[in-house]
Amino acid sequence: MSNKMKTAVLVSGGGTNLQALIDSIDRGDVQSAEIVCVIANKENAYALERARKAGIPAKAITADFEAGALAFMQECGAELVVLAGFLSIIGKGILSAYKNRIINIHPSLIPSFCGKGYYGLHVHEKVLEYGVKLTGATVHFVSEEVDGGVIIAQKAVEVRHDDTPDVLQKRVMEEAEWVILPRAVELVASGRVQIQGRMAVITE
pLDDT at 149: 96
pLDDT at 107: 97
What residues contact residue 21 under an 8 Å CB cut-off, 6+ apart?
A: 9, 30, 35, 82, 84, 181, 182, 185
Q: Which of 106, 124, 140, 161 is catalytic?
A: 106
pLDDT at 130: 97
What residues contact residue 108 under an 8 Å CB cut-off, 6+ apart?
A: 114, 118, 123, 127, 135, 136, 137, 138
Identify which of 9, 67, 1 has the alpha carbon closest to the alpha carbon of residue 36. 9
pLDDT at 204: 76
What the chain holds in terms of domains, given with CATH numbers, is: 5-202 (3.40.50.170)
pLDDT at 139: 98
pLDDT at 166: 98
Per-residue pLDDT of the chain (204 residues; tens, 9 = 90+): 578 999 999 999 999 999 999 999 999 999 999 999 999 999 999 999 999 999 999 999 999 999 999 999 999 999 999 999 998 999 999 999 999 999 999 999 999 999 988 999 999 999 999 999 999 999 999 999 999 999 999 999 999 999 999 999 999 999 999 999 999 999 999 999 999 999 999 997
pLDDT at 32: 98
Sheet strands (E) in the chain: 5-11, 33-40, 58-60, 80-83, 102-106, 134-141, 151-158, 193-196, 199-202
pLDDT at 14: 95
**3-class state of residue 130 by DSSP:** helix
User: What pTM does this model have?
Assistant: 0.95
CA 110 to chain centre: 14
Cβ count within 10 A of residue 43: 9
What residues contact residue 160 under an 8 Å CB cut-off, 6+ apart?
A: 168
pLDDT at 98: 97
Query: Would residue 106 show up in a list of annotated catalytic residues for this protein?
Result: yes
